[in-house]
């Protein structure tokens, strides 16, 4: 019906314009003319005119085929690049609750038009999802998982500022089932499984999620190996977490050791026990990396379509030292002043942390694995984990894209991980992810070509969210909103 209406509307416009030699008028539309369109699956298409009408993309046509009347609201796209709005597939509104009120503006200002929240108190993340739904032109699309579904002891139990209460500790199978039903009735978009779950709890969560049509993302539970988690129904893996443990030549021995520790130390705090296991096993596992085993595991992940959100900027945060870059420094000036000072202090203390040889080795291992994952044709989504590890909401996604290119993806393939792929993940591929007629008008206009250099995704000239156009000046104002003198 809508399409028919649009067609009628278009024909009417053509009819009117036929009587006017001055060209076609698109009422209440934004016409971006002579622009190079970046289609994540095809590449660059030059000299296009993109008409945004209402909240949607109404037309994408070669500029030569359209005689636009000067009465239209025309944006000159010459020398500019128009691409779909970006997704950050791994964010936490609830990690620093005091930063959450600034996050919509930060995302929009940096061209992030959709985000996937991968864990936080349900009332808090739902509140931000609802706010986003109520203001679709001024906020990113927000998909939520609700709390991390963890076992006992649970990791993010609220015991320290580094471990805010992002998770629920589920003591039994019944508790897990009850929680899944509750989250589903509250309207979560996916579920997030965490590291302390038992294999039985994990399998139940995955089974129930499948019945409800929800995806289960997560960390591979420490009580399992990657193949069994993937076979049980893990839809996607965050940070490639615990993949190294299964790729080690002594993987079986490591699993036995973990099971023993999970049993004998079940009364420890979850965060402490998890760190202890990681410290004990991660380095050994990376040193015992077994190529044949890794190949076998990746083949299973590809076959089961267990997607990967590698969060490379997170795993390399100490070696990459993003918090020393001028861009990062600028980005935190958009925070409320108290938080800016907090982050500055934190950066100083992190600068003093030693970069151990294993830190470097782990960052290199992560890059190498992403290359193999990509070669095995396992789908990847770009995600950051912001605002963890001083990763600025918005800016950090651009850093992640650059790291995916560093790992071996082409710039266009990297762009796909933050546009088409997340849209597909949520079954929104007909609504988002491309510059295509009928899709939601979530777009970024760039001053430089991101296919030539992925760093150019930062050359933002304008952002379109749900059809609303924000030029550079307006974006700057939005970014500075929390610090503007009027406030």
Query: Closest Cα partner for 310 from 373, 359, 360?
Result: 373
First to last CA, the chain: 45
CB of 67 to Zn ion, least distance (A): 50
> Would you say 218 and 235 are in contact if contact means Cβ atoms under 8 Å apart?
no
Task: Select the span of 53-61, 320-328, 341-349, 380-388 touching Zn ion (CB under 5 A).
Answer: 380-388
Q: Which of residues 108-137 bind Zn ion (CB under 5 A)?
A: none
CB of 98 to Zn ion, least distance (A): 18
CB of 222 to Zn ion, least distance (A): 16
Size of the site for Zn ion (CB under 5 A): 1
3-state SS, residue 465: strand
Within 13 Å of residue 128, how many CA atoms lie on the same side as its CB?
A: 31
Binding mask 331-370 for Zn ion (x = CB under 5 A): ----------------------------------------
Q: Does 400 engage in binding with Zn ion (CB under 5 A)?
A: no
Q: How many CB atoms lie within 10 A of CB 357?
A: 9
> Would you say 32 and 49 are in contact if contact means Cβ atoms under 8 Å apart?
yes
Identity of the residue, 92 or 458, whose beta carbon is nearer to Zn ion in the bound complex: 92
CB of 183 to Zn ion, least distance (A): 17
CB of 200 to Zn ion, least distance (A): 24
DSSP code string of 196-238: T--HHHHHHHHHHHHHHT-EEEEPPPTTS-HHHHHHHT--EEE
Candidates 244, 385, 399, 400: give the one binding Zn ion (CB under 5 A). 385
CB of 248 to Zn ion, least distance (A): 24
Task: Select the span of 144-152, 204-212, 383-391, 439-447 touching Zn ion (CB under 5 A).
Answer: 383-391
List helix spans (H) across 59-158. 100-109, 122-134
Identity of the residue, 244 or 385, whose beta carbon is nearer to Zn ion in the bound complex: 385
Identity of the residue, 385 or 400, whose beta carbon is nearer to Zn ion in the bound complex: 385
CA 226 – CA 232 distance, rounded (Å): 10
> Would you say 202 and 221 are in contact if contact means Cβ atoms under 8 Å apart?
yes
Task: Select the span of 102-110, 211-219, 298-306, 381-389 touching Zn ion (CB under 5 A).
Answer: 381-389
Q: What residue ranges bind Zn ion (CB under 5 A)?
A: 385
């Amino acid at each position: 019906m809508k399409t028919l209406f649009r067609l009628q509307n278009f024909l009417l416009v053509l009819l009117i314009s036929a009587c006017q030699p001055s060209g076609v008028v698109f009422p209440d539309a934004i016409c971006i003319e002579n622009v190079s369109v970046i289609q994540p699956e095809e590449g660059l298409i030059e000299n296009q005119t993109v008409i945004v009408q209402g909240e949607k993309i109404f037309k994408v046509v070669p500029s030569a085929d359209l005689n636009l009347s000067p009465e239209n609201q025309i944006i000159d796209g010459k020398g500019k690049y128009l691409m779909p709005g970006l997704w950050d597939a791994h964010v936490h509104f609830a990690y620093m609750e005091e930063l959450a009120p600034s996050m919509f503006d930060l995302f929009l200002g940096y061209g992030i038009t959709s985000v996937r929240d991968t864990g936080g108190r349900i009332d808090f993340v739902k509140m931000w999802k609802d706010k986003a739904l109520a203001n679709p032109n001024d906020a990113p699309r927000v998909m939520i998982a609700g709390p991390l579904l963890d076992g006992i002891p649970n990791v993010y139990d609220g015991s320290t500022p580094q471990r805010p209460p992002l998770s629920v500790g589920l003591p039994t199978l019944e508790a897990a089932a009850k929680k899944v039903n509750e989250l589903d009735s509250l309207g979560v978009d996916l579920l997030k499984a965490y590291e302390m779950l038992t294999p039985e709890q994990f399998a139940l969560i995955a089974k129930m999620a499948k019945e409800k049509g929800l995806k289960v993302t997560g960390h591979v539970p420490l009580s399992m190996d990657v193949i069994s988690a993937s076979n049980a129904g893990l839809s996607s893996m965050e940070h490639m977490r615990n993949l190294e443990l299964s790729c080690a030549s002594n993987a079986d021995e490591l699993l036995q050791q973990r099971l023993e520790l999970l049993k004998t130390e079940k009364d420890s705090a979850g965060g402490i026990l998890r760190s202890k296991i990681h410290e004990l096993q991660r380095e050994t596992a990376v040193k015992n990396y077994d190529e044949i085993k890794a190949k076998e595991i990746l083949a299973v992940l590809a076959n089961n379509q267990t997607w990967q959100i590698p969060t490379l900027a997170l795993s390399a945060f100490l070696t990459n030292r993003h918090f020393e870059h001028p861009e990062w420094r600028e980005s935190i000036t958009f925070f409320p002043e108290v938080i800016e000072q907090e982050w500055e202090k934190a950066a100083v203390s992190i600068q003093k942390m030693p970069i151990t040889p294993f830190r470097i080795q782990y960052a290199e291992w992560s890059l190498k694995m992403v290359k193999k994952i990509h070669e095995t044709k396992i789908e990847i989504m770009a995600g950051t984990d912001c605002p963890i590890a001083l990763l600025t909401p918005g800016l950090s996604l651009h850093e992640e894209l650059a790291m995916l290119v560093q790992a071996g993806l082409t710039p266009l393939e990297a762009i796909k991980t933050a546009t088409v792929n997340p849209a597909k993940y949520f079954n929104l591929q007909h609504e988002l992810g491309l510059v295509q007629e009928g899709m939601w008008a979530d777009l970024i206009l760039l001053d430089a070509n991101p296919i030539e250099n992925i760093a150019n995704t930062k050359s933002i000239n304008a952002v379109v969210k749900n059809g609303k156009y924000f030029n550079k000046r307006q974006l700057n104002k939005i970014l500075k909103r929390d610090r503007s003198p009027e406030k």
